[in-house]
Every structure is written in C-alpha cells, then in structure tokens.
A and B are shown apart, each in its own frame.
Chain A
Amino acid sequence: MKIWRDAGLTYIQYSNIAARVVREALRAELRADAAKRDISHVQFTPWVNGKPKPRKKQESDS
C-alpha cells in the first residue's frame, strides 16, 4: 500500500504523479486544457546565515 513512502516520496509527490498520469490519460481535446494546470515555474534558493546558497538544478518533477 505504502510503497511510494518507502521509495522516499511524500504524499504530495505521490499524488502529483498520479494526477499527471490521469491528465495524460485524457482525450486529446481535453488534455490540452488540463496540461495548462500542469505547469510550474517556481524556483527555490535555500538561505544559510542570511546569504543565499546556490544549489544544483531542481529536479523537474515533484
């Protein structure tokens, strides 16, 4: 049941992957609309001691 948890995923990642699969399974005319909800540009920079710390590039899926 909780294989994804053992694989180190959080529920958020798990449900997002599930959502993506569902979107890809849609019919072509509906898929174009749903694909717009599958876009994200947010980038993250961790800060340590008041200075931004550069990090390797984000993995695309979360």
Chain B
Amino acid sequence: MMQRTQLLLPLAMEATVLAQQQRGMATLKMISMRLKSVKNIQKITQSMKMVSAAKYARAERDLKAARPYGVGAQQFFEKTEIQADEKAEPKKLLIAVTSDRGLCGAVHTGVARLIRGELAQDEANTKVFCVGDKSRAILSRLYGKNILMVANEVGRLPPTFLDASKIANEVLQAGYDYTEGKIVYNRFKSVVSYQCSTLPIYSGATVEKSEKLAVYDSLDSDVVKSYLEFSLASLIFYTMKEGACSEQSSRMTAMDNASKNAGEMIDKLTLTFNRTRQAVITRELIEIISGAAALT
C-alpha cells in the first residue's frame, strides 16, 4: 500500500502541474524557455533586416540604372497610341513579376490580387506567366488552369538582363499568341511605399494595325518584330528591378516590425517571469515561516 502511494505521488504532482498550466499559470521554466525562443527569433529578424537593408541599397542603385530601359520602351507604345483590337477575340497574357522569397509584407499578394481581379473578369481568354514561385503558389489554387508557365529561381540574386531576356524568350516561344498583355509588378516609390501597377505589351500584329505607327520612319515588319522582342525583354528587366527593389524595402519594413513586436513580447515575458519568480519566493517564505510557527 505504502509503495503504491509513493508511486502515485509524482504522477499526482504532474497532474496538478498540468492543471495549473492549463489554467494559464505557466511555470517558471516554461516562461524562461519561451523567453529564450522569442529572443532568438528577434535576433534572426534583426539580422534579416540588416541583410535586406544592404540588399536594398544595392537594388536601389541598380534600379536607377535600369529605369531608362523601362521608360524608353514605354515611350514607343505611348507615341504610337496602340489600342487593342476590340472586335477580334482578345487573347490576354499577364506576366506576374514576383520572386521566390517570402517574408516581405504584401509585395507578392498585391501582384496576385491584381491578377485575380483581371482573371475574374475574363477567365477564358487570359493566361498568366508567373515569374517567381510566390505568385504561382498564390494563383495555382484558384486559377491553376490559367497558368502558362512558371519561372523560378528568381530573387536570390539581383535580376540580370540575361534573366529578363530568358523570360522574354520563353514568353515569345511558349506557343501562346497573345494579342495584348500586361506586366504586373510593384513600382518602387520610396523606402516605405510601393505601388502595384501594370505595363501594357502588345503583339506584332496589333502594333502593325496601329494608325500612328507612321510617326516612325522606315519600319518594316521585320524591324517591328525585332524591336518588340527587345522591348519585351527590357520591360521585363525594368519591372524585375522595380519588383526587387520594392521587395527588399518591404522586407526591411516587415523585419523591422517583427523585431519590434518581438521586443514587446520579450518585455511582457520578462515581466511575467519576474512576477512568477517573486510569487514562488513569497510562497516558499510563507511555507517556511508557517512551518516554523507550527513548531514553536
């Protein structure tokens, strides 16, 4: 009988400890473990912030150099005032410029949301070319059938023109003859803000139908075709640079917020830790004093 109670005692104690925890009375050890893990998380987010700050500085420098590519290529479409053919059946192509990497706020979700809006309007005649795994992950759930191709391994290193031209090449050779299209990307405005925007792209046939094409001298279809291929590559290059810059700046903000939140949590946990320690000390003192009082 005696032995059995001895066996049961630790079990009973464990049960009470468990019950206490369930009531929200965490033990000292658990709080200190939690505190340690939150401190580690803060360390990680802080270093991620530092890394993305360095990457952001580089991305912004690159972006300044890449802007003329985008502006120049856009000028052509503006000057010729190309309009998509309303009568013919439109075949749209959306190029989602995101990256493989997460933990950067709403950068990728913004792009995906804009594309979802476009797809909701005209699902049958629209295809999506996903640059970066993140847009694919978001879009494949609902609109998997509309995805034409996925390009990944984007975003670990700053985008190069070779990356962009490979993507443009795949767009052209994917076997999908689009009449008009849009590049959806994040336009970098400042360190704290970016805007999800679109750039139009058109196929050679649509461009040649344009009436204002005569503003350019001596164009034959060969030149137009070559130019459109190159302009697609430069537009993709430009949007990738914009996207990369917005992503890094957004990650910087996100990681800053995460470290701040972790700091708050650490403060709160330290407070509860100290309170609980105090409570334990007080309880032990009471036990000793009342034990001594019982003896005398």
Is B125 at the interface (CB under 8 A from chain A)?
no
Selected from A5, A12, A16, A44, the residue in CB contact (under 8 A) with B151 is A44
Selected from B162, B166, B170, B222, the residue in CB contact (under 8 A) with A38 is B162
B165 and A62 contacting across the interface, CB-CB below 8 Å: yes
A50 and B147 contacting across the interface, CB-CB below 8 Å: yes
B169 and A10 contacting across the interface, CB-CB below 8 Å: yes
Helix, strand, loop or mixed for chain B's interface?
helix
- Residues of B in contact (CB 8 Å), total 34
Given contacts A39-B160, A42-B163, A49-B145, whether A12 and B150 have CB atoms under 8 Å apart is: no
B157 and A41 contacting across the interface, CB-CB below 8 Å: yes
Task: Sort chain A's interface into a size bin.
Answer: 20 to 34
Given contacts A11-B229, A50-B140, whether A41 and B156 have CB atoms under 8 Å apart is: yes
Give chain B nearest CB distance to A9 CB in angstroms. 10
A40 and B163 contacting across the interface, CB-CB below 8 Å: yes
| Distance A15 CA – B233 CA, assembled complex (angstroms) | 11
Selected from A42, A47, A51, the residue in CB contact (under 8 A) with B154 is A42
B168 and A12 contacting across the interface, CB-CB below 8 Å: yes
Residue of B nearest to A10 (CB): B229
Is B196 at the interface (CB under 8 A from chain A)?
no
Is B226 at the interface (CB under 8 A from chain A)?
yes
Contact flags B210-235 to A (C-beta < 8 A → 1, else 0): 00000000000010011101101100
Is A27 at the interface (CB under 8 A from chain B)?
no
Contacts of A57 in B (CB 8 A): none
Residue of B nearest to A43 (CB): B153
Is B149 at the interface (CB under 8 A from chain A)?
yes
A52 and B230 contacting across the interface, CB-CB below 8 Å: no
Contacts of B154 in A (CB 8 A): 42
Contacts of B72 in A (CB 8 A): none
Residue of A nearest to B140 (CB): A50
Contacts of B169 in A (CB 8 A): 10, 12-13, 62
Selected from A16, A40, A50, the residue in CB contact (under 8 A) with B144 is A50
Is A54 at the interface (CB under 8 A from chain B)?
no
B222 and A5 contacting across the interface, CB-CB below 8 Å: yes
Contacts of A13 in B (CB 8 A): 165, 169
| Distance A28 CA – B226 CA, assembled complex (angstroms) | 32
Given contacts A37-B161, A41-B156, whether A46 and B230 have CB atoms under 8 Å apart is: no
| Distance A6 CA – B229 CA, assembled complex (angstroms) | 16
Chosen A-B contacts, 29 in total, with CB atoms closer than 8 Å, are A2-B222, A5-B222, A11-B225, A11-B230, A12-B172, A12-B229, A12-B230, A12-B233, A13-B169, A15-B230, A39-B157, A40-B160, A40-B162, A40-B163, A41-B156, A41-B157, A42-B154, A44-B149, A44-B170, A45-B149, A46-B148, A47-B144, A47-B148, A47-B149, A49-B144, A49-B145, A50-B144, A50-B145, A62-B169
5 extra interface residue pairs, beta carbon distance < 8 Å, beyond A47-B150, A50-B140: A10-B172, A41-B153, A45-B149, A47-B147, A50-B147
State the B residues within 8 Å of A (CB): 140, 144-145, 147-154, 156-157, 160-163, 165-170, 172-174, 222, 225-227, 229-230, 232-233
